[in-house]
Structure 1
Amino acid sequence: MKTLVLCVDRDDDLGTKAGITGPIIGRQENIEAAQKLGLVDPEDVDTNSILSAVSLYDDLVKKGIEAEIATITGDQRVGFQSDLIITRQLENTLELVKPDRAILVSDGQEDEYIYPMISSRIKIDSVKRVFVRQSESLEGFYYLLVKSLKDVKIRTKWILPLSLFLVILGVLYLIPEIIAFQEEASANLEMLPRIGFFVILIVLGIYLIWWAYELDRKARAIARSMRQGSLAIPFALVSIMLV
């Protein structure tokens, strides 16, 4: 029975950062891919996942188990687009390798999305999760926090709900305050701090949305297109409206 050690890069860091196209089949090919990605971004967790998969593959071979290793990649647009690409690469890999079972190597973040796609096409005997050791100091925590907030995917996942909450909360409390402000002239001065507080909540929420989606960068891109008379301006405007 042949075992496939399978590593999945759902958001295609290998492609976007290192210019490597999946599927990557073979021990040496995966080592070279991990080295190339590691040189571009030494802290990318996919580097550790691939090397962990190689280590697992070596252990299987030492035990006399027929095995092969492969890494498949998705797309920056995580979701339907990336999963469609992963499915195609997986089917191509299974056709080439012809394994009887698979061992999935994962960083644990995308298991709930990846596992069903793979298990519906081949039997998965085991899932190996790769965790990168980090410093337990407070400085290490802040470093990880700052690094995570630089990731657009993480920002849109966690910051967007918070920003929407702030905007909605501010609006819900601001409207009654404004109505009361207009009706109670004698209490106007006492109400100003509360009104100011809710306005700050709304502004902060809007700013977080702007920051999470990097709308300033998109606005600059549209401005450049307008200066250059680009025909893509209408499409750019529509894309921002749909974000």
Structure 2
Amino acid sequence: MRIAVAGATGNIGALTVAALERQGHDVVRISRSLGVDLSTGAGLDEALTGVEAVVDAINAPAADEAATVAYLGTATRHLLAAEARAGVRHHVLLSIVGIAEVGGNAHYAGKREQERLVEAGPVPWTIVPATQFHDFAEMVTGWTEQNGVATIAPLLVQPIAPADVAAVLAEIALGDPKGRYPDVAGPETQDLVDMARRTLAVRGREIKLVPTWDGVFGVSMSGNALLPKEDARLESTTFDEWLSGRD
């Protein structure tokens, strides 16, 4: 089967490409660095020739809410229009658990715009909401660290291994469109501050963590806001297992 992956050079995109290729599928990589620009649509028609399904795992560069919504909205419009022209039968969008209930986050606003466009678009679709990835705590620490000190919100999350997300996306792309898919999450609830401490310890990095809601994430993400619904699909890789497999 010929499947395209948008955002193919990113973390989840690259893992999804690998998962599909291990199963013997013909994978088209869509990325600006590979000559296909979702911001303008350049190269999309050629890239989608003969493609049956598209997995959208793109990210937006850090920006304010308006710019993020514009970036992801424009990319999604170009992608859906090209898919319709090419006769693509299935659009699979990677989204995030809880974005409908959380305001004040630019990336979440952009993902909501993507979901809106996909739901109203011309291509049969599946939206896959996933929880934060196991490397999320380390990423957040990297955003805020200055002079050996990093602020981090005490988020309650149920993180999932990136490779598990990619495997789910690959599986869904091979099947029929399902509309809104159940939440996809890891097996255990975790505290983001504790995740950061444990990840930094494995990495051998000494950074002082300051738990606070006065930073990247606000109190709208507190409590159960980011946790999956009861009917969620739970993948098996635990945070500890993921940590033990790091380089």
Q: With the length of structure 1 as denominator, give the TM-score of the two structures.
A: 0.34
Structure holding more helix per residue: 1
